[in-house]
Structure 1
Amino acid sequence: MDLHFNLREIVTASMVLFAVIDIVGSIPIIINLRNKVGHIESGKASVVSAFIMVAFLFVGEEILKLIGIDVNSFAVAGAFIIFFLAIEMVLGVTLYKDDEAETASIVPIAFPLIAGAGTVTTLLSLRAEYYVENIIVAIVINVIFVYFVLKSSSKIERLLGKNGLNVIRKIFGVILLAIAVKLFTANINQLF
């Protein structure tokens, strides 16, 4: 098996996943959950979300083939989802709303907050452009970061403040918009 580790791909995939997972922007949700249920199992949530992401990275394409959809079509659809996630982040509007959770174990932290629809869609979109091993490294980097954010969410909130969190969210929203456009243009040509 020939490995194709590429630092540029790892950094780009890491930034894309960081923006889509938006764990820093989710700190208010995490703090709200912590206040409701008391304790969040950071390690368990991180490991389960990593498992979901890696599993979908490998099995997701097979599932698509089973239902007759190619990766390029999925990447274009993913570009739309990433676009709408970015619009939510930049404009501060909510286009999609989940039901509120009663517990903060695996659901809703690992799924759908960390490894939700946007993340798994992004993974398959990335797979259309990057080598799998680089995406796996990007997943590991993000899961480690997610773990530390979950562990220290109260400290981060105090450090950044509400305005700091909003600025970070908007910056990554603009990055996501650019990524959505790139994914769309790179894969739309393959469909025709």
Structure 2
Amino acid sequence: MSDAVGFFVSVWIKFFFLLTPFFALTMFLTLTTGQEAGLRRLLALRVTVSVIFACFALYFFGNSIFHIFGITLDSFRIGAGGLLFLSAADLVRKTSPSAAPSAEEHNDIAVVPLAVPIIVGPATTGALLVMGAETQDTFLKVVGCGALLAAVLCVGLMLFVAPTIERVLGRKGLNILSKLTGLVLSALAAQIMFTGIRNVLLIH
């Protein structure tokens, strides 16, 4: 039981940072500038549902995707780790999000761009495919699903109370947390790449 709890906490933390919650929060606030509180909460709910569907599809069908394209797990680890590292570096460099959209665009941002690619971007996609494919034990797979769901719901809750978080931390505080998230992601990227390179070298 203790091993399952430890696995749950470990996976939850990884997924939480993979979803870049503080950058997503900053973008959510910018893209919903001028919206009423009720509409913001409804949008946060739609984004959360969209992210859940996207993440679970990637987590469960990683092996099938690898098989179809003839890609080995370790080669994908190396590629996904490199992409995740670039995304982490980009996150650290960012100083401010793009300008807010026009009123006509407000109704179309739940799935694109908020859910995909802001929260579930290319690097997050690669990491989810790897994590799902490397977890073969059925029980751990279920525990991983619970951790993934918990991470997404935490991000969704942050979006739901986004104005309150902004008042407490301010935009400067959110930018600092986004950069710290980038540092954590860079370490996770290095670990994913190291595992892939080590396994490839051992095979050869």
Percent sequence identity over aligned pairs: 25
- Partners of 2:16 and 2:152 within 8 A in 1: no
Greater Rg, structure 1 or structure 2?
Answer: 2
How far is 1:159 from its partner? 0.8
2:33 alignment partner in structure 1? 35
Aligned to 1:147: 156
Give the partner amino acid of 1:43. L
TM-score by length of 1: 0.83
Change (3 A) 1:167 1:6: same
Residue 112, structure 1, aligned to residue 112, structure 2:
no
Residue of structure 2 aligned with 1:168, choices 153, 162, 177: 177
1:6 to 4, 21, 34: 4
Q: How many residues align?
A: 186
Q: CA RMSD in A?
A: 2.6
Mapping of residues 95-110 of structure 1, within 5 Å: 102=105, 103-110=108-115
Question: What amino acid maps onto 2:122 in structure 1?
Answer: A
Which runs of structure 2 are paired with 1:39-54 in the superposition (5 Å)? 39-40=39-40, 41-54=43-56
Question: Which residue is 1:180 aligned to?
Answer: 189
CA-to-partner distance for each residue in 1:55-108, whole Å, 9 max, x for gaps? 1111132112101101211111111111112112223379xx9xx792223222
Q: Which amino acid letter does the alignment assign opposite residue 113 of structure 1?
A: I
Amino acid at match of 2:9: V
CA distance in 1, matches of 2:177, 2:88: 12
Distance (Å, rounded) in 1 between the aligned partners of 2:2 and 2:200 = 26
Any conservation in 2 of the 1:19–1:176 contact (CA below 8 Å)?
yes
Q: How far is the alpha carbon of 1:183 from its aligned partner? A: 1.0
Q: How big is each residue's C-alpha offset from its partner over 1:125-178, in whole Å with a ceiling of 9 and x where there is no partner?
A: 323554422321221111211221111111111111122112212222221111
Secondary structure of 2:21 counterpart: coil
SS at match of 1:35: coil
Q: Call closer, same or farther: CA 1:116–1:89 in 2, change over 3 Å.
A: closer
C-alpha spacing 1:154/1:55, structure 2 compared with 1 (3 Å): same
Equivalent-residue separation in structure 1 for 2:35 and 2:71 (angstroms): 40
Query: What's the counterpart of residue 83 of structure 2?
Result: 81
Q: Which amino acid aligns with 1:8?
A: G
